[in-house]
Structure 1
């Protein structure tokens, strides 16, 4: 189901050399590449799936894994694709089971010799599925820092947030972002909307337009399409998961980046060592292990107030040394 898309080169290009270098020692020692499969309900141009796909492709280029993937898999078809890969000799399956939790866990139980690393809203169950570990982009650290910048850059104090679904993983990023905003703009007001889709750029764009009409001059682009609306209307935006500033140099001030490499490397190492278990791999997305970062300001370098950037630097240092912890709030955020 591979298809050419306009943003794919951008998503898949960054970070490959760095990950390849990190994997080289393992590649030299490995008897043969580990067979890995990715199963995605969205196209790999979508930012969340794209970060996973990029990491796997980099490991493949380094000779560590033999990676194949299927994208745009409907939830109703997901168990079938899981079984096909499991029966083909794949040793590690990476994917997302947010909309097919029960069925996916049943499949995992049928193939105890296969390791499943799945994006999920629920914790692992070692008793029922000792071979299924979970993860998600727990990048609240970087989201919080991007909020500090957003609060310093908004003029109206009216900020719009457009998300996919109000699941815990998304909710915590939005709450972290809003907490960061309040550090530099205590009186900020928020418009929060979920579009009910993980990949519907036109709907996200229209939702963002409505927020701008209602006074927002800063947008949190949790979904594709939001930055397009911001660019067209001349307001600012904060990116999520990937760095899109090259596409929106006058619009995207900062981005909270997700680095899936630590998660993927840990899983591959565990499978190779025969120690893969039902664990929460979400912790590999934290900033102090390299799972997330704040993107360079690029064209906005020098335009963000110095006091805000000093606060960002101080908070980041505190996050890294463990003296400051970003509050995790998985409840659904509301407009204020």
Structure 2
């Protein structure tokens, strides 16, 4: 197995420096925790990339000794988990959406190793050393929808990977936000059956544009490329890609994995890690998500939409507004 500890230059480095500031001071004084990441896709992929950034930030701050393996197939995932556990890793982080049962069996065989895994299922007390998380960034997705709804003529195309809860809830929140700005919007919804297939996502987006979409929701890489080529706007997801698409990506719902990672590290160091749902640390009130800066679109978003975003964001943070978590598969309208 090949371990990598550095990756892809400025994007990761800048994220690590920024993320280091989010880690509690308490963790800085502790002996570094030996952490391994196991990812089924490249660390450039947006969802996994946020986990990787948080781990690299903790490494830069001296909190962890971090290594990772990417592009691990579901069939190979349990083997890689075992190899890291046998190597003395204290905390293994990854995503087990396609290998739930097998991953839990591995975790049960290594009760002294903490497993923090992206999962669509709840924690199980029968496997007390495996905690779950997901990117519950519906708060930021809802706000990005308000902006989208204010800048479309009424037809939004939405391209996702798979219709699983962690994708579905973000789409529904985005759609709810868009309807706040324009209740008559039509949505085209499609899933490409892959977590990382930019060409397929791009072709799917092209078809939506041909069918009248003048705004795209880029849940997957490749969608913003289609928007840029056709001269329409897009909304990003999980990461901010506006620097790559300065005239295309209006706004993005950003996932910050640092609060989740910091909570897990603290639990490991305290000897208190247990089966738990770490998804709560992705909520906006916990600092787990935010709306990206408007950047090149400063001054181009309608003032009334920005006022509504500010109002709703304040309500989310003070608890007076709870954005619905709807995990059902969204449909075209």
Q: Same fold (TM over 0.5)?
A: yes
State the secondary structure of the residue aligned to 1:308: helix
Deviating more after overlay: 10-19 vs 248-257: 10-19
Aligned position for 2:295: 298
State the secondary structure of the residue aligned to 1:23: coil
Would the alpha carbon gap of residues 28 and 211 (structure 1) be closer, same or farther in structure 2, given more than 3 Å must change? closer
Aligned-partner Cα distance in 2 for 1:227–1:25: 38
Structure 1 residue 328, shift from structure 2 partner: 1.2
Aligned position for 1:64: 63
Give per-residue Cα distances to partners, 1:120-178, cap 9 Å, x unaligned.
Answer: 0000001x2000000011100000000000000002x0100000000011100000000
Would the alpha carbon gap of residues 201 and 83 (structure 1) be closer, same or farther in structure 2, given more than 3 Å must change? same
User: Are residues 1:195 and 2:192 paired?
Assistant: yes
Contiguous gaps of at least 5 residues in structure 2: none
**TM-score normalised by the chain length of structure 1:** 0.96
Aligned-partner Cα distance in 1 for 2:41–2:95: 10
Structure 1 residue 327, shift from structure 2 partner: 1.1
Would the alpha carbon gap of residues 58 and 166 (structure 1) be closer, same or farther in structure 2, given more than 3 Å must change? same
Contact 1:27–1:62 under 8 Å retained in 2:
no
Aligned-partner Cα distance in 1 for 2:277–2:24: 26
Across the aligned residues of Structure 1 and Structure 2, the Cα RMSD in angstroms comes to 1.5
**TM-score normalised by the chain length of structure 2:** 0.97
Structure 1 residue 17, shift from structure 2 partner: 2.2
Structure 1 residue 21, shift from structure 2 partner: 3.1
Contact 2:217–2:236 under 8 Å retained in 1:
yes
Give per-residue Cα distances to partners, 1:227-280, cap 9 Å, x unaligned.
Answer: 000000001000000000000000000000000000000000000000001000
Aligned-partner Cα distance in 1 for 2:9–2:174: 28
Contiguous gaps of at least 5 residues in structure 1: none
> Which consecutive segments of 4 or more residues in structure 1 shift more than 6 A?
none
For these two proteins, the number of residue pairs brought into alignment is 331
Give per-residue Cα distances to partners, 1:190-235, cap 9 Å, x unaligned.
Answer: 0000000000000000000000000000000000000000000001
Aligned-partner Cα distance in 1 for 2:317–2:24: 26
Contact 2:28–2:61 under 8 Å retained in 1:
no
